[in-house]
């Protein structure tokens, strides 16, 4: 079957809020250039933006959105570009959407509490309709999630690499795949 979805986490809300503007501005330009390249006419994949684009300068959010919209009808690999993405915020947003959806049709809190399950919440995540990640590759030597796909990665396998993302090489990727292929996934059992 192969790879259906790849997610690149480029900036968290904490990065956007806590780093000085002189660090963020060049990063945003690099991200926009990468998204433009990913969304080029010669690429087969569909690009989806996940995260709080409202944390970005309006012109940058518009540039990213316009580029991603050009790929909406493509049927190839889905590339999620996570900018302003935080896993806790995603779960809070999913719950907010779920509550508003049920309030709109008159469902009481008690009725919702009776039927609420993980599928109801998953349906409202930014990545709704996509498979959960099989493998999460964490660069930079850190061995933590830092808020990345908290809900979706419950049964994911993890591979940690000392290299920072800009230095991450094809050989590192192949090592991650080889290591993953040798594992026996238990999905919580």
Convert 142-177 into a string of H (helix), E (strand) and C (coil).
Answer: CCCCCCCCCCCCCCCEEEECCCCHHHCCHHHHHHHH
Write the pLDDT tens digit of every residue in 29-78: 999 999 999 999 999 999 999 999 999 999 999 999 999 999 999 998 99
| pLDDT tens column, 157-173 | 999 999 988 889 999 99
Q: End-to-end distance of the chain based on CA atoms, in angstroms? A: 24
Q: Residue 1's pLDDT band (boundaries 50, 70, 90)?
A: low
Percentage of the chain beyond pLDDT 90 is 88
């Amino acid at each position: 079957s192969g790879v259906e979805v790849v997610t690149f986490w480029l900036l968290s809300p904490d990065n956007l809020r806590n780093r000085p503007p002189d660090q963020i501005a060049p990063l945003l330009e690099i991200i926009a250039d990468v998204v433009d390249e990913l969304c080029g006419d010669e690429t087969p994949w569909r690009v989806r933006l996940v995260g709080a684009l409202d944390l970005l300068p309006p012109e940058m959010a518009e540039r990213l959105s316009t580029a991603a919209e050009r790929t909406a009808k493509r049927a190839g690999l889905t590339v999620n570009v996570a900018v302003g993405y935080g896993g806790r915020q995603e779960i809070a947003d999913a719950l907010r959407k779920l509550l508003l959806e049920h309030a709109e049709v008159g469902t009481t809190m008690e009725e919702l509490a009776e039927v609420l399950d993980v599928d109801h919440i998953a349906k409202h995540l930014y990545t709704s309709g996509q498979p959960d990640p099989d493998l999460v590759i964490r660069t930079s030597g850190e061995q933590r999630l830092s808020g990345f796909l908290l809900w979706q990665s419950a049964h994911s396998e993890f591979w940690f690499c000392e290299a920072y993302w800009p230095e991450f090489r094809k050989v590192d990727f192949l090592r991650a795949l080889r290591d993953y292929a040798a594992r026996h996934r238990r999905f919580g059992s």
